[in-house]
Structures are given as structure tokens and as C-alpha cells.
Structure 1
Amino acid sequence: MSKIAPISGFPEYSPAQRIVEQRFLDVIRETFELHGFASIETRSIEPVERLSSQGEDADKEIYGVRRLADPGTDAKWGLHFDLTVPFARYVLENAGTLEFPFRRYQIQKSWRGERPQEGRYREFTQADIDVVDVGTLPAHYEAEFPLVIADVFAKFPVGDFIIRVNNRKLLSGFYAGIGITDVQETLRTVDKLDKIGAEAVRALLLERGLTDEQADACLRLAQIEAADASFVEQVRLLGVTHPLLDEGLRDLAQVVEIAAAHIPGKLVADLKIARGLDYYTGTVYETQLVGREEWGTIVGGGRYDALASDGKTTYPGVGVSIGVTRILGLLFGAGELAASRSVPSVVLVAVNDESHRAGSTAIATALRRRGIPCEVAPKADKFGKQIRYADRRGIPYVWFPRDDGDQVKDIRSGDQVAADPAVWFPPAGDLRPQVSRSGD
């Protein structure tokens, strides 16, 4: 038998970690639905040609799909590396049956053929929301998404966070206003600021044909940061004019002002944010954990105007993606996130002896019908052993069937009280495993 070895970049979770993941997904689903987003699911594969058209590095990241029986053929399909590209295709295929503006959320796995490292995986779960419309999409939708993200992270113990926003129109208009012709290449270069620093970015800009003055102007713009609309005046002081710059400043100011009113302290205009994918055209978003900025972006997204088009009709949209596996992997790796127990069961129903197992099963059935997760002891051992079994699994209560009236024991405190399976209920904090961050 060959030795079993792990495959890097494909995470597998323990029962306790899986509980944490499921709780996070529950929070995400509930919050998305509170904001009026409806769920869809798309297929795992898309034509390679479509996937590879979404950025300079996309073709390097695609996992091709073909039959093992066809070893000499090129892959026609590839596993999607995000959920935005398949969503755009879904909109085009189903436009005749969708109600616009269409608000969708989608929680699925994606695959990306890159080198695995801390927080970056080859297989990962994403949670996306988008709004798309026909022809035009009002800019006010771009201000809505930070509110949703803030709601998610306020409900899940990830610690403090900051949402950083910019606008591609602002950047493109500024670059055009100083005479840069290859705007997309400049955007991709400036987007590397956090990774390689200002001097390295400046050197790259000069290598790609910018003048010293243009490179310096790009870096001065990238240094602007504000939690209110004061960034507008800071940009104006740089002396650059262009109609697209004006539009971007107006749209970004609206995002910042709405965030300041509803989620004060959680959003900042950061004009070095660019996002690397080519399809973004308006507001772009990146979210970081405060104190863990070295982890980079855990939520990203933006406005796109031409990703979904059939040649006659265009469906502009805006959306963000939560990197579920990325967030959890980083927090698990740092030992900062844990579940209060590794099983859903809150009660272990003891078995007096095997001839009475049916009675224990009846108690468990009555508890389950009332929404109380429980299990029946695997063996009719001495009660001490059954209690130790519950303790090892993190089950806080043991139920003892008795002829003179059942009793339930909190094995943490030792308290034992009379109980009726038709009315007993555990404290709310015990009913489901609780998720907490260390230090909270």
C-alpha cells in the first residue's frame, strides 16, 4: 500500500474547525438574506477561453478539466477561480427569467492553481454578493456593500476590521489626466504597493515608460487616505483634471459619506487600492483585520460595467467576495478561533443497561423533536465512564433515565437536577457550540 501524503493547498477541517466554518457560513447567509440577496449556485467549470480572458495571470491559475481517457487533448473547460466570472455567464444565460436589478449571493468552492502559502489555497470557499441591472446601474449600489460586510463581521468574532475603498474611475481619470496611456498596466503596478513598497513600484512604473513626474504623481495620489470626504480636496490639490476623475471622486465620496453615517470608523478611502482584475470599472473594496494587516485582504470586490454582455445588452454590476477559507485558515493557524466543543450534541443520554437502550433512545427522540441536539451513549458502561465519554467530546450535559424521575447533570459544575424531556431546555449559550476568538 502506498504511503498517504497530504496535498498542499487543499485544506481539510477537524470536527471543531468545521463547526467554526459552519457558524461563519450561517452568519454570512443570514446577513446576506437580511439585505435582500437571493441564493444561486453555478456549475464548477467554465470554458477555458472565458476564464483566461479575465486578467494577465488568469491563464496561469486555471485548473484544466479533461477526461483521463483523453491524455493528448487540451482542456476545453477549467475550474472557476472565482465566482464573479460564472455569475456573469449565469446572468447572460438567464436574463430572460431574472428580475432586475438582480440581487444574488453565492457560497461555493473555487480553485486556483497558485503556490499555496499562509492564507492562500488551491481550493477554497468564497461567499459573494452582487447586484446587476440592465444597461445602467445607479452608483448608490456601490455604497451599499460596505454596510453588508460590516454587518457580517460585527456578528462573527474576527476582531476589529477596516474596509478600504477606492474608485477605478478616479484612478483612470487621474492617470489619463497626467498623460498615461496604458492605464490598466499602471493600475496593476500600483496595486503592488503593499507587497513591494513605493520605491519598487516607482521603479516598475519607470520601466514601463512613465516619466519621473508621472511616477511621482501616481505615488502622491496613492498616499492619500481619509475616513471622510476630505480626500476629494486632497486630490484636487494635486492639480490634475479629467472628466472621469470628477466622476470617480463624486461616486467615492458618496460611498464614504454613507459609511460614515451608518458604520462610523469602519471604512476609509485609500487611494492606493486598485485591485488587479481587469474587469473592475468603479468602486473597489478591500477589507483587512486591524492588527493583522500583514494578512492582506480578506474581502475584495468592486464595480464592473462590461463583464456581462451579449453584444447587444450589457449588465453592469457591483459585488464583493468574502474569502471564507482564507479568513478561517489564518485565524486557525494563529490559534485565535475555536469552538466551545467539537460536536453539536449538548446532551448525552446515558444507558443504564442494554436492555433499557430503547428507553434512552425514546428520551433522545423527545429532546430532538424539541430542537435539542443529543446522542445516546455508545455503551452501557458505569456512569462514571459514560460521563468521561461525554467530557472527552465536550458534551456539557448527561441525562440519567431513572424509574423515580429522570435527572440531568451539568458535568462542568457538577449540578444535577430533576428533568422531564418534554419540558427541559439547556441555557441558550449551551444549545449550540459557541465560536470565540482567543482573548475575547
Structure 2
Amino acid sequence: MFAKTSLSGFPEWLPEGRIIENAILDHLRKTFELHGFASLETRSVETLDELQRKGETSKEVYILNRLQELKEERSSKKERPLGLHFDLTVPFARFVIENAGSLAFPFRRYQIQKVWRGERPQDGRFREFMQADIDIVGDGALAFHHEVELPLVMIEALSGLPIPPVTVLVNNRKVVQGFCEGIGIESVEDALRAIDKLDKIGAEGVMAEMLENGISAEQGEKLLEMAAIRVESGVTDAVLALGVDNETLRAGLEELDALLIAATKRAPGRVVADLKIARGLDYYTGSVYETVLEGHEDLGSICSGGRYDSLATNGKRTYPGVGLSIGVSRLVSRILGQELVHASRSVPSCVLVAVNDEEHRSEADDIAYALRSRGIPTEVSPNSAKFGKQIKFADKRGIPFVWFTNEEGVSTVKDIRTGEQVEADAATWMPPATDLLPTVVK
């Protein structure tokens, strides 16, 4: 279901793979809209100033240039440098600021688009890929309960896909901020940047990096103890048992506990507090989330995000938000690569109308038109070869039914999977509901 491509990092799926991807996207749209999220699409390019507004220089932004401008080498007024967006959060923040007067807050949006990053391609990581985001943004303030709501919406969305169960790992910026302050660490970002690598380089590697950044061995050991906490409940007791306590830490633990309590009610066993999660803390200010696929932990997080308070601001007003993003291409690549599911057929066509001879092709076209007018995906045989060859053509494409009309004008439809053939009228015949459209099968 993968198509061969001469450029690495730019995935192309074969038709069956696209059917699976579209089924996933359709399900995500349906779930997001069920929860009141409005569809939004932003432009693919942003100014470099906007893309680098929060210091996101590590995303390897693709620069956009006009060929003619590169050739001219002129000294006249230059256009503002542009780049392809590397995620959907930064352009969404810009959109909110520019259109705040036309939006009703809290504003709930979902966005499904491609993004681009000049990264080294590897398993599940691409240079061009599809993301599906949901965000809730407020005007000046945003209630904490939205931080509880979003991961539960994502669990519902992902649970409806033909994939193994998912677990959402949660942490809170206030917890790690307060803990670091409580043990005297001044450079919180350095500490958390090291902790975030725990799964990659292990405790020894993390400790070495912290020592290089001026964090003492005693502080590092304490931080590693905190990072080792992974519980479905009782996170406050687990953290306070380490002997660290302050107001910021307490505030974060209260929020984290509230999230876990709600998740236990709505999605038992699906949300776990994992205090080594430290992603994106350059702009996340509250809850942070990562999502792993059971049995496929090597793939990394397939859905991540968090609370941000100052990403969207125009200097006068601030629009705090919370969001989550699914790496759709990463998920699809694993589904196709390990054949976790397959499509019932590789084309949308449910019926192939056989052609007796080229002189009567228009009659076959009439039947196809009648079937399509009733919502039945239909194509007409590309040639008038012997019926056996036309049936083989349908079988190769996965089309389940072939329609025949004899010289007397009597029509029959054949299920080429079973060999059953019955008389049929194009004005009334319907295929079984399970055959009307391609389906995704585990």
C-alpha cells in the first residue's frame, strides 16, 4: 500500500492506502464536529518572523522563494521572506489574532492539513505529513476544564479507529516547574530538556547532561525520582512523598489529579500521569499530553499537545488555549507498514457495467448513469472484450459486482466473489450496505 517515491520523507500511498487514510480522516472529522469543533484551514505559508516567533528554529523550516526573484539578483525592495508552516498551532495563533473580532470565544476549531519540516526521514517521521489538530482558545482567560476535555475527545476519536488501544500520558508544567524550584534548580528549561530525553539516552545520559548544565548530582537524582512517577491516580501523594512542596507544585498537582479523576470516569485506564513528559515547555504553561499506541511504543507519540497561555497575543490582548495534534501520516504509515488493517477494495466502484460491443456502449453508459444517480459507485468496462476478461478486470480492481444486459434487454448482476447472479433493474437494485463503499477491515 506504499507507493515507490524517489524523494524520501514525502509519503505517497497507493489507492488502497488512500482509502484507509480517508476513512481515518472522515472519522476524525465526524468525532470533532460531534464535540462542536468548527473546521478551519489556514494558508500553507507564513512569514519567517511568524514561524520563528517562539524561537522555533529547530523545526528546519522550508523557505519559499520565487524562481524569478532568485534569477534577478536585484537590489530593489524585497518581499518578506516566507516559509511553509511546520505545524498548525503557530498559524492558528496568527489566525486568531487577526480574526478575533469575528470569532465567538471560547473558539473551538479543528484543522486537518499538511505541514512541512526539513527533518531526517525515518520510520514514522516525514518531511511532508498530514496533521489533525483540535484547539480551544479563550479571550483573556480559558477555564481549566478544557484541559480535561481535550484528551478525552482525542481518546474517543482514536478509539473509533481500527488501531490498537491508545494511552494518553499527561503531565503539568506547574508540577515540573514547582518541583524544580523546590529543589533549587534555576534553569528549569535545561533540566526539563534533559528529562525529555530519558527514554532515548537513559538515566545516566540525562544525569550527565544535567551536570553539564550546572545542576548538582543531588538535584539531578531528585528530579529523576520525580520523572520515574507514572500512575493512574494518587499523583499528589506520590510527588509529595519525595519531600518537595510549594505553591506552584500544589497548583499543578491539583490540576493533574482533577484530570486523572475525570479520565477514570470517562476513559478508565486510558490516561496516565507520566512525570517525565516535558515536551514543548517553551510555550506550554499547564497540562501537556503525549499519546502512545499499545504494542507500538517504538513509534513514539502519535498525538501530543498541551495548554499554552501566551502563544497567541497581539501585545494588548492574549488568547490562551489548549490543543492536541494527531500525526495522521505517522499513524497511517504504521497501519500500512505492518498491515494492521486493509481496505475491502482498492477502488470506490461497486459495480462494473459490462459492454456487449462498442456499438452498444451507450446502453451500458445509461445503466451506469441510472445506478450512479442512486448513489451506487459505478464504472463502465473500458473495452468490449469477452465477458470472462471483463470479469477478470473487475476482480483485479476488487469490484464486487458485474452488470450484464442481454440482447433482449434483460439485466442481471453477478457477485463475482460467490458466482451468484440475479435479474436486476437499474432503477431499484441495491447492493448490500457493506458493499456499497469500500470499508476498512482489521
Distance change (3 Å), C-alpha of 1:404 and 1:47: closer
1:183 alignment counterpart: 188
Letter in 2 for 1:53: R
Letter in 1 for 2:213: R
1:380 alignment counterpart: 384
How far is the alpha carbon of 1:60 from its aligned partner? 5.2
Q: Which of 216, 219, 222 is equivalent to 2:227? A: 222
**Most deviating of 236-245 and 80-89:** 236-245
CA contact (8 A) 1:9 1:122 kept: yes
Once the two structures are superposed, residues 98-142 of structure 1 have per-residue CA deviations (whole angstroms, 9 ceiling, x without a partner) of 000000011111000111111100001100000000111100001
User: What SS does structure 1 have at the residue aligned with 2:112?
Assistant: strand
Q: Which of 321, 327, 335 is equivalent to 2:325? A: 321
TM-score by length of 2: 0.94
Q: Which of 271, 275, 284 is equivalent to 1:271? A: 275
CA contact (8 A) 2:173 2:281 kept: no
CA contact (8 A) 2:404 2:411 kept: yes
CA contact (8 A) 1:9 1:116 kept: yes
User: What SS does structure 1 have at the residue aligned with 2:236?
Assistant: helix
1:114 alignment counterpart: 119
How far is the alpha carbon of 1:59 from its aligned partner? 4.5
CA contact (8 A) 2:352 2:403 kept: yes
Once the two structures are superposed, residues 279-323 of structure 1 have per-residue CA deviations (whole angstroms, 9 ceiling, x without a partner) of 111111111110110110000110000000111110000000010
How far is the alpha carbon of 1:5 from its aligned partner? 7.1
Letter in 2 for 1:342: S
1:163 alignment counterpart: 168
User: What SS does structure 2 have at the residue aligned with 1:422?
Assistant: coil
1:10 alignment counterpart: 10
Q: Whole-Å Cα distance in 2 between the matches of residues 53 and 169 of structure 1? A: 23
Give the % identical residues: 56
Following superposition of structure 1 onto structure 2, how do residues 100-179 of structure 1 map, counting pairs within 5 Å? 100-179=105-184
Q: Whole-Å Cα distance in 2 between the matches of residues 5 and 313 of structure 1? A: 46
How far is the alpha carbon of 1:277 from its aligned partner? 5.1
How far is the alpha carbon of 1:74 from its aligned partner? 9.7
TM-score by length of 1: 0.95
Q: Which of 177, 195, 205 is equivalent to 2:210? A: 205
Following superposition of structure 1 onto structure 2, how do residues 26-425 of structure 1 map, counting pairs within 5 Å? 26-55=26-55, 58-59=57-58, 61-71=60-70, 76-228=81-233, 230-276=234-280, 278-402=282-406, 403=408, 405-425=410-430
Letter in 2 for 1:26: D
Q: Whole-Å Cα distance in 2 between the matches of residues 294 and 339 of structure 1? A: 25
Q: Whole-Å Cα distance in 1 between the matches of residues 194 and 426 of structure 2? A: 64
Q: Whole-Å Cα distance in 1 between the matches of residues 311 and 241 of structure 2? A: 34
Q: Whole-Å Cα distance in 2 between the matches of residues 207 and 350 of structure 1? A: 74
Q: Whole-Å Cα distance in 2 between the matches of residues 306 and 424 of structure 1? A: 59
Q: Whole-Å Cα distance in 2 between the matches of residues 64 and 313 of structure 1? A: 30
CA contact (8 A) 1:166 1:283 kept: yes
Q: Whole-Å Cα distance in 2 between the matches of residues 299 and 149 of structure 1? A: 8
Q: Whole-Å Cα distance in 1 between the matches of residues 439 and 5 of structure 2? A: 33
User: What SS does structure 2 have at the residue aligned with 1:95?
Assistant: helix
Q: Whole-Å Cα distance in 2 between the matches of residues 406 and 20 of structure 1? A: 33
CA contact (8 A) 2:164 2:295 kept: no
CA contact (8 A) 1:283 1:303 kept: yes
Q: Whole-Å Cα distance in 1 between the matches of residues 337 and 308 of structure 2? A: 34
How far is the alpha carbon of 1:49 from its aligned partner? 2.1
Q: Give unpaired runs (5+ residues) of structure 1.
A: none
Q: Whole-Å Cα distance in 2 between the matches of residues 296 and 59 of structure 1? A: 19
CA contact (8 A) 1:351 1:379 kept: yes
How far is the alpha carbon of 1:334 from its aligned partner? 2.2
Once the two structures are superposed, residues 365-409 of structure 1 have per-residue CA deviations (whole angstroms, 9 ceiling, x without a partner) of 121111111111111111111100000000011111233531111
How far is the alpha carbon of 1:45 from its aligned partner? 1.1
